[in-house]
Amino acid sequence: MHGWRRARLTERTKQTATGRTLTFEVPHWPGHLPGQHVDVRLTADDGYQAVRSYSLAAPAGAGGDRIELGVQATFGGEVSPYLADDLPVGAEVEVMGPLGGWFVRTPQDRGPLLLIAGGSGVVPVMAMLRARAASASGDPCVLLYSVRAPDEVWYATELDAVAEGVRVRLLYTRTAPEGSRRPAGRITADDLLGMPPPTDTHCYVCGPTAFVEHAGELLLAAGYGPDRIRTERFG
Amino acid sequence: MGDLSPGFHGKSHAFAGRLPPGQYPTESFPVLSAGPTPDIPTGRWSFTLTGEAGESRSWSWDEMMALPQEEPTVDIHCVTRWSKFDTRWRGVPLDVFLDAMETAADFVVAESFDGYTTNLPLEDVTDGKAWLAHSFDGFALSPDHGGPARLVIPHLYFWKSAKWVKGLRLTLDNEPGFWESAGYHDYGDPWREQRYWSD
């Protein structure tokens, strides 16, 4: 599980101005659970190496030895801008994984699901949604997805298709589309009205630290137990 | 090597010597927690040391603040690969608490208000290597970073520095904690890159 494996970039898809989906071919990939991540290692000509973690965006199985990562380029970053725009298709990096045993949804996990994502925090959540679609689970499922503006939505076209039986509610924080009933603004207690009940719902919250802190407070205030809220923060 | 990641140059070379293998420097202070941030007013905060036979000793917030304080400036290393240099803390050396009890234990389990646990050899939290910290960079420690008080054990990966800590339990045997039971290394030395079970 923990050795470095060579991974060849086979496809890069633009999600937003700075967000990319990268598909790698990794021979003998052992599989993974929705919510897990990998470490990606880059090596410069002088031997210098840099490593960062990226979430897996798709469940294992469907793609065989292929894995899909979500990369959000951060301005001035050492690794993410290179992965987002410079690594040539066909070139190789190294990956280690899968990693992470906590922010995961296993096939045995049952019950209503409340997914709350901010920005590129939707990536590991997308793996859970895609796995749910593949398993034809009938459990209630809601995605609350907070983005600054309509052009920052990842998986925009796929969200409709993956969403059979899933309620997707987009929460725009800066700019809402014309005709939106909800005014632009960060997630509030009102946005949690009508969600699956606290009694048996599992919550997964992923996004920038301030977003996760705030959403976590709202969930606790709405009666969701701390032991049913799993979080992943970045930035 | 030469065929990997063509065109990548990297920016972190300058920190060689201070940066453990596989880490990168950060100016920000990322937050890593498994669940939501708990709210713990100092009025109902206490810190309890429990011996291997079950005897215990507790300190209220005011009693803890009246204990000898230190202001360590240390580098910290998170297993998610960021390192932060010259972080400034204020708190009580764990020696002050541990000196209050005779023990034959070789290990200690740190326990937090949110149920988190992490295990350590006793010798890694004595002799000025570990603190119960309540201030960061001159200000009261914020809840997202573990306030009102957390452990600071800078020579190990930072998951060992339990946030929202409520006590230490002395144990004769090693008892793996939360992350140590979920695939992370039992000891966690960043300079030997002990991230995962297999490292």
Band (pLDDT 50/70/90 cuts) for residue B197 is: confident
Q: Do residue B10 and residue A44 have CB atoms under 8 angstroms apart?
A: yes
Calculate mean pLDDT across residues B124-132. Answer: 97
Calculate mean pLDDT across residues A51-63. Answer: 84
Contact B26, A62 (CB under 8 A): no
User: For all residues of chain A together, what is the average pLDDT?
Assistant: 92
How many other CB atoms sit within 10 Å of the CB of residue B72? 17
**Cα A76 to Cα B74, B75, B195, distances in angstroms:** 26, 23, 27
- Residue A106 is assigned to a structural domain of this protein: no
Pairing mode, if any, of strands B165-171 and B46-50? parallel
Which positions in chain A touch B35 (Cβ < 8 Å)?
216, 226-227, 229-231
Band (pLDDT 50/70/90 cuts) for residue B2 is: low
If you ran DSSP here, which 8-state letter would residue B114 be given?
A: T
In whole angstroms, what is the distance from residue A168 CA to residue A156 CA? Answer: 11
Instruction: Select from B1, B4, B84, B114 the residue whose CB has the most chain A CBs within 10 Å, as the one to mutate to test that interface.
Output: B4
Report residue B67 as tokens.
Answer: 């204990």
Q: Are residues A140 and A211 in the same domain?
A: yes
pLDDT reported for residue B199: 86
CA A27 to chain centroid:
23
Phi, psi values for residue A214, rounded to 5°: -65, -45
Q: Do residue B5 and residue A92 have CB atoms under 8 angstroms apart?
A: yes
Q: Are residues A143 and A218 in the same domain?
A: yes
Q: Are residues A139 and A67 in the same domain?
A: no
- Residue B82 is assigned to a structural domain of this protein: yes
Pairing mode, if any, of strands B139-140 and B131-136? antiparallel
Instruction: Select from A37, A39, A45 the residue whose CB has the most chain B CBs within 10 Å, as the one to mutate to test that interface.
Output: A45
Comparing B27 with A79, which gets the higher pLDDT?
A79
In whole angstroms, what is the distance from residue A135 CA to residue A220 CA? Answer: 30
Q: Are residues A159 and A188 in the same domain?
A: yes
Which positions in chain A touch B33 (Cβ < 8 Å)?
231, 233
Radius of gyration of chain A (CA): 18
- Residue B72 is assigned to a structural domain of this protein: yes
In whole angstroms, what is the distance from residue B120 CA to residue B108 CA? Answer: 5
Q: Are residues A119 and A145 in the same domain?
A: yes
In whole angstroms, what is the distance from residue B67 CA to residue B165 CA? Answer: 17
| Count of domains observed in chain B | 1
* Domain assignment of residue B132, given as a range: 22-27+38-192
Q: Do residue B10 and residue A47 have CB atoms under 8 angstroms apart?
A: no
What's the 3-state SS for chain A?
CCCCEEEEEEEEEECCCCEEEEEEECCCCCCCCCCCEEEEEEECCCCCEEEEEEEECCCCCCCCCEEEEEEECCCCCCCHHHHHHHCCCCCEEEEEEEECCCCCCCCCCCCCEEEEEEHHHHHHHHHHHHHHHHHCCCCCEEEEEEECCHHHCCCHHHHHHHCCCEEEEEEECCCCCCCCCCCCCCCCHHHHCCCCCCCCCEEEEEEEHHHHHHHHHHHHHCCCCHHHEEEEEEC
User: For all residues of chain B together, what is the average pLDDT?
Assistant: 94
Q: Are residues A162 and A211 in the same domain?
A: yes
**Cα B79 to Cα A139, B55, B193, distances in angstroms:** 35, 34, 9
pLDDT reported for residue B34: 81
pLDDT in tens, A125-167: 999 999 998 887 888 999 999 999 999 999 998 887 776 789 9
- Residue B129 is assigned to a structural domain of this protein: yes
Nearest to A104 by CA among B44, B192, B183, B73: B183
In whole angstroms, what is the distance from residue A11 CA to residue A90 CA? Answer: 8
Q: Of B3, B37, B182, which is closest to A213 when you measure between CB atoms?
A: B37
Peptide bond into B25 cis (omega under 30): no
Band (pLDDT 50/70/90 cuts) for residue A1 is: very low
Contacts of B47 (CB under 8 A, 6+ apart): B58, B59, B64, B97, B132, B149, B165, B166, B167
Nearest to B85 by CA among B29, B160, B143, B142: B29
Q: Are residues A45 and A71 in the same domain?
A: yes
Which positions in chain B touch A54 (Cβ < 8 Å)?
none
DSSP H or E segment with residue B166 = strand B165-171
* Domain assignment of residue A50, given as a range: 5-99
**E strands along B6-112, which residues?**
24-25, 46-50, 56-60, 73-77, 82-93, 107-112
Q: Are residues A125 and A44 in the same domain?
A: no
Q: Do residue A226 and residue B38 have CB atoms under 8 angstroms apart?
A: yes
Band (pLDDT 50/70/90 cuts) for residue B192 is: very high
pLDDT reported for residue A200: 92
In whole angstroms, what is the distance from residue A121 CA to residue A106 CA? Answer: 19
Comparing A2 with B25, which gets the higher pLDDT?
B25
Nearest to B123 by CA among B92, B165, B161, B94: B94
Band (pLDDT 50/70/90 cuts) for residue B15 is: confident
pLDDT reported for residue A62: 54
pLDDT reported for residue B13: 67
Which positions in chain A touch B199 (Cβ < 8 Å)?
2
Nearest to B116 by CA among B11, B32, B10: B32
Q: Which of residues 33-52 of A touch B (CB under 8 A)?
A: 39, 42-45, 47-52
Of A31, A66, A99, which residue constitutes the final position of a domain? A99
Tell me the CATH number at A157: 3.40.50.80
> B100, exposed or middle or buried, with CB in 10 Å at 0-12, 13-18, 19+?
exposed
Tell me the CATH number at B153: 3.90.420.10
Q: Are residues A124 and A15 in the same domain?
A: no
Of A99, A131, A152, which residue constitutes the final position of a domain? A99
In whole angstroms, what is the distance from residue A64 CA to residue B184 CA? Answer: 27
Which positions in chain B touch A209 (Cβ < 8 Å)?
30-31, 144
A109 touches chain B (CB under 8 A): no
Contact A143, A166 (CB under 8 A): yes
- Residue A108 is assigned to a structural domain of this protein: no
Side chain identity, residue B197: W
| Count of domains observed in chain A | 2
Contact B172, B106 (CB under 8 A): yes
pLDDT reported for residue B113: 96
Tell me how close the Cα of A105 comes to any Cα of chain B, in angstroms: 14
Give percent of chain A with pLDDT exceeding 90: 79
CA B98 to chain centroid:
16
- Residue A66 is assigned to a structural domain of this protein: yes
